[in-house]
Amino acid sequence: MPAETEMKGKIVKGLFWKLLENGGAQGLQFVVAILLARLLSPAEYGLVGIVMIFIIIANAIVQNGFSTALVQKKNSDETDFSSVFYFGLMLAAVMYALLFVSAPAIGRFYENPLLGDILRVLGLVLFPGSVISVQTAYVSRKMEFRGLFLSTMFAVVISGAVSITMAYRGFGAWAMVGQQLAYYLALMLALFAAVSWKPRPAFSLGRIRGMLSFGWKLLAASLLDTVFNNLYGLIMGKIYNEELLGAYNRGDQFPKLIVSNLGAAIQAVLLPAFSSRQDDMAQVRAMVRRAIRLSSFLVLPMLFGLFAVADTLVLALLGEKWLICVPFLRIMCISYSFWPVHITNLQAINAMGRSDVFLKLEVLKKAVSLTGLLIGIRYSPVIMVSIKAVCDFLSVFINAWPNRRLLGYSIRSQWCDILPSFLLSVVMCAVVYALQFVLPGGAWLKLAVQIGAGAAVYAGLAWVLHLESFRYLTETLRHIGRP
């Protein structure tokens, strides 16, 4: 089998299992989230949401940088993986100690002592999270995505059962804490059973230093990105209230479910694919272009469709008490529309070994975001989040700019590839949005008809207009089951 055909087969099957893992896991998590939303209040969601911001930031320090360096490095061996494994656990211990000590002060700052207690318990996820980052790096390196799929599904089922049981028995916000702890622990144990890599008694400080030269820039960029992405939640939790933060988090969850599924698949599968061809600019450019076309074709209609059915969806799934999240949901649909394009451009830069460019881009984007935040904070939460969406849109151009020189793939060329899917999505969105004003029946019937009509309009137009991405996707799906 020619090398290119073999690589294409690995990428296609890797994407299939990664999409199946993310889609199946997040689909189940979505069902769990709906059940929890029926049992918990927006204020309880907001309470845990504040704590999760600190956990996410700590996780960014523990998990990011080295795991990407393991995938990007051409000849990562057992000593590399084991060294990162032990170093990550040490970082986790340091970060947990900082969280534990600062927990009472954080509780006082938000005028809720329960926050400190939750933070000390939830911070324990840093330890299994550190292990999982090395395990998933090995999965990406070897493309063992089937084991990751099975392990993730197991963890989602276990953690979902724990959280729903706790919520039903009146544990309130602690039900979400139980969900996180159960998920991380179950996933770590399942991956040890499903993935061939196991840590060995080997540690090399020299290997850590070598990867640090590449990984520290990614770590700094990831930390910068994580802090800024969660800054809005920190501000809402302090200036406004937990209920409003809960509404924002819930509105953010629906579109993020879509983009994180495909985005994580692109990140996990295409980075090793790009890295393996990093010496051939033409091949990397062709793969980047294909990823941008295909991700735009899949993501844009889903997010534009979600924008159109927002009212009906929230009313049907969550109930009237959650309608306050609809404005945030629609804004975040716009904000996330081009997220897979962000990821693909950045992964190409990482694969070329240019983590220095990656870090510079993050600094520039955060300067733009900070300016937007300082303007938006003077107004209402909706305006503040709307300005965030504008800044996220500008970031598309910032991320694409270096690849004109690195890959010969300009911003103009990228938008020419995106435009057909964008225009079809706008037409579909207008049709689906208009249907809610003429359809009879309750929320569930309207939602079913709107989703069916949207899928039919988009797929029908793509077929009639012979959209290249539509043809490529149908042809690719035929090859998934072939050896």
Mean pLDDT, to the nearest integer, of 357-377?
83
**pLDDT digit string, tens, across residues 285-297:** 777 787 788 888 8
Q: How far is CA 92 from the centre of its chain?
A: 22
Mean residue pLDDT across the chain: 80
> Is residue 77 in some structural domain?
no
| pLDDT score recorded for residue 100 | 95
The three state secondary structure string of 404-463 is HHHCCCCHHHHHHHHHHHHHHHHHHHHHHHHHCCCCCCCHHHHHHHHHHHHHHHHHHHHH
- Range in 58-67, 263-272, 333-342 with the lowest mean pLDDT: 263-272
Closest listed residue to residue 253, CA positions, set 191, 332, 178: 332
Mean pLDDT, residues 314-334? 89
Mean pLDDT of 410-432: 91
Name the maximum alpha-carbon separation found in the chain: 68
To the nearest whole percent, how much of the chain has pLDDT over 70? 82
In angstroms, rounded to a whole number, what is the distance separating the alpha carbons of residues 243 and 249? 10
What pLDDT, on a 0 to 100 scale, did the predictor assign at position 271? 46
Tell me whether residue 119 is in a domain: no
What pLDDT sits at residue 1?
44
Which residue bears the tokens 């091949």?
Answer: 283
Q: Is residue 85 domain-resident?
A: no
Residue 424's closest CA among 293, 335, 262?
293
Does a structural domain hold residue 285? yes
| Structural contact between residues 101 and 115, judged by C-beta atoms closer than 8 angstroms | no
Query: Who wins on pLDDT, 4 or 114?
Result: 114
Q: Which residue has the higher pLDDT, 73 or 428?
A: 428
pLDDT at 22 over 60: no
Run of H or E residues at 245: helix 242-276
Residue 149 has a pLDDT of 77
- Report the candidate in 50, 257, 45, 36 with the shortest Cα–Cα distance to residue 167: 36
What local confidence, expressed as pLDDT, does residue 441 receive? Answer: 75
pLDDT over threshold 70, residue 378: yes
Write down the pLDDT at residue 293.
83
35 pLDDT more than 70: yes
Q: What is the per-residue pLDDT across 216-263, written as a single tens digit (0 to 9) for each?
A: 666 676 677 777 777 777 777 777 767 777 788 888 888 887 777 665
Q: Is residue 307 part of a domain?
A: yes
If one counts every other C-beta atom within 10 angstroms of the C-beta of residue 153, the result is 18
For residue 121, the tally of other CB atoms under 10 A from its CB is 15
Does residue 468 sit within a domain?
A: yes
Q: Is the pLDDT of residue 337 over 80?
A: yes
Instruction: Write the CA distances from 408 to 289, 345, 426, integer angstroms.
Output: 11, 12, 29
Residue 94 lies in a domain: no
**Minimum mean pLDDT range among 10-14, 350-354, 380-384, 427-431:** 10-14
| Total domains in the fold of the chain | 1
Give pLDDT, residue 29.
Answer: 74
Q: 1 or 338: whose pLDDT is higher?
A: 338
Per-residue confidence (pLDDT) for residue 158, from 0 to 100 = 93
Collect all residues with Cβ–Cβ distance below 8 Å to 226 and sequence separation of at least 6: 56, 57, 60
Residue 365 above 60 pLDDT?
yes
In a domain, 152, yes or no: no
pLDDT at 421 over 70: yes
Spatial distance between the Cα atoms of 185 and 129, rounded to a whole number of angstroms? 8
Range of the domain at 393: 241-483
